[in-house]
């Protein structure tokens, strides 16, 4: 009796010689020497077809981009008996961006800036659910700060607290003040931004989604592409790198300049970057993970992450001060 994977693969016009499962996907070797990736797809057939048009647009622009493989009967998705959607795409083989390698991460921001340039003329209209409005970030900060209040109130009501809960309450006031200041700063720069600051974004840009192949660096995994402020894409990657490098000011400024050389960062975007870095997102993430797990006990990883956040705060504050001078200058 065939297993589920074999049934899905039979829907595609290839003979598969080897299939390896890893990191939420099936890596498929084909008899003709090509390689494909099979993954679950979150969304409808129309969304998959929109993604297909976007990837073809990138290819036509000369960008190395994965392409969707259609089933034998011409469908972008294969739907299993339990209504789970799958899609297959070409496989770019290479190593991931190494966040310890300065040249890798500088290349990563240049590739992102080029992607933003290249997508400026993509004319397909995205459904509303894939478009983030100018007030999206403001509403997100309101929601996150409300969740911080909820966690604080829950812990305060406990008669007996563990080490993580005690440390969280000790740090809460400091990081809440940062959250409030970031929200206030966002309102100060929230004048209706120009349309040129918005366009098609990757939506989940990280070191895992940039591969260094024999043909050069290739951005992959566009499943979360959306319409958003370009600076949102950059800030998402930028924060991750800065956290991994202990908020190294020199590296941070080099990343900003590397992006700016390919696609100019306007004053509004730099202000946005400053605000996004000043909001205590990591503190919120740890609190949110704690609250949504078994609250009767704290995962040791939560405690370790909270300790790391606090240990990095001096360097983070120094970087934010330099960034503020740079933005205002």
Give residue 187's pLDDT. Answer: 87
Length, in residues, of the chain: 329
Q: What is the pLDDT of residues 185-228, one digit of tens each?
A: 998 886 667 888 999 999 999 999 999 999 899 999 999 999 99
Distances (CA, A) of 157 to 14, 146, 151, 271: 60, 17, 10, 38
Q: What is the pLDDT of residues 254-273, one digit of tens each?
A: 999 999 999 999 999 999 99
> From CA 75, how far away is CA 11, in angstroms rounded?
10
Rounded to two decimals, the pTM is 0.92
Q: What is the pLDDT of residues 85-133, one digit of tens each?
A: 999 999 988 999 999 999 999 999 999 999 999 998 898 889 988 999 8
Q: What is the pLDDT of residues 281-305, one digit of tens each?
A: 999 999 999 998 865 555 678 899 9
Residue with tokens 């297909």, as numbered in its chain:
52
Run of H or E including 20: strand 16-22
Q: How many CA atoms lie within 13 A of 283 on its CB side?
A: 30
Q: How many CA atoms lie within 13 A of 112 on its CB side?
A: 33
> From CA 172, how far away is CA 151, in angstroms rounded?
10
Domains in the chain (CATH in brackets) are: 16-91 (3.30.200.20), 102-328 (3.90.1200.10)
> From CA 136, how far away is CA 141, in angstroms rounded?
9
Cβ atoms 237, 205 nearer than 8 A = yes
3-state secondary structure of 220: coil
Residue 72 has a CB neighbour count (10 Å cut-off) of: 11
Between 169 and 190, the more confident residue is 169
Task: Name residues whose C-beta falls within 8 Å of residue 280's C-beta, 6 or more positions apart in sequence.
Answer: 175, 178, 179, 182, 309
> From CA 237, how far away is CA 115, in angstroms rounded?
14
Helix axes 230-244, 300-328, angle to 10 degrees: 120
Q: Where are the alpha helices (DSSP H) in 61-188?
A: 102-118, 136-156, 163-188
217, β-bridge pairs: 212
Determine the distance from the C-alpha atom of residue 7 to the mean position of all C-alpha atoms in its chain, rounded to a whole number: 32
> From CA 116, how far away is CA 109, in angstroms rounded?
11
Q: What is the pLDDT of residues 17-41, one digit of tens each?
A: 999 998 789 999 999 999 999 999 9
Residue 189 has a CB neighbour count (10 Å cut-off) of: 15
- The mean pLDDT of 148-159, rounded to a whole number, is 94
Q: How many CA atoms lie within 13 A of 108 on its CB side?
A: 29
């Amino acid at each position: 009796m065939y297993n589920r994977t074999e049934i899905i693969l039979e829907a595609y016009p290839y003979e598969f010689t080897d299939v390896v499962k890893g990191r939420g996907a099936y890596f498929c070797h084909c008899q003709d020497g090509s390689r494909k990736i099979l993954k679950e797809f979150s969304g409808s057939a129309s969304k998959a077809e929109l993604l297909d048009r976007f990837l073809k647009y990138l290819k036509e622009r000369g960008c190395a981009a994965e392409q969707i493989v259609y089933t034998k009967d011409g469908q972008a998705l294969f739907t299993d008996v339990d209504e789970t959607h799958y899609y297959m795409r070409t496989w770019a083989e290479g190593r991931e961006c190494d966040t310890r390698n300065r040249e890798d991460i500088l290349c990563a921001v240049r590739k992102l800036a080029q992607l933003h340039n290249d997508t400026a003329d993509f004319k397909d209209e995205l459904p509303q659910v894939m478009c983030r409005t100018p007030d999206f970030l403001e509403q997100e900060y309101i929601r996150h700060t409300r969740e911080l209040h909820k966690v604080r109130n829950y812990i305060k009501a406990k008669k007996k607290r563990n080490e993580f809960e005690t440390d969280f309450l000790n740090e809460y006031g400091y990081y809440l003040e940062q959250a409030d200041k970031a929200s206030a700063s966002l309102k100060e720069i929230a004048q209706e931004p120009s349309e040129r600051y918005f366009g098609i974004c990757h939506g989940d840009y990280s070191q895992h989604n940039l591969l260094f192949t024999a043909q050069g660096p290739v951005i992959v995994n566009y499943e979360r592409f959306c319409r958003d402020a370009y600076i949102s894409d950059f800030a998402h990657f930028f924060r991750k790198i800065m956290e991994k490098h202990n908020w190294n000011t020199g590296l941070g400024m080099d990343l900003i300049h590397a992006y700016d050389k390919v696609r100019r960062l306007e004053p509004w975007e730099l202000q946005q970057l400053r605000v996004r870095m000043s909001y205590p997102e990591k503190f919120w993430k740890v609190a949110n993970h704690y609250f949504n797990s078994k609250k009767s006990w704290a995962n040791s990883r939560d405690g370790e992450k909270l300790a790391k956040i606090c240990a990095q705060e001096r360097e983070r504050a120094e970087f934010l001060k330099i960034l503020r001078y740079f933005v205002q200058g």
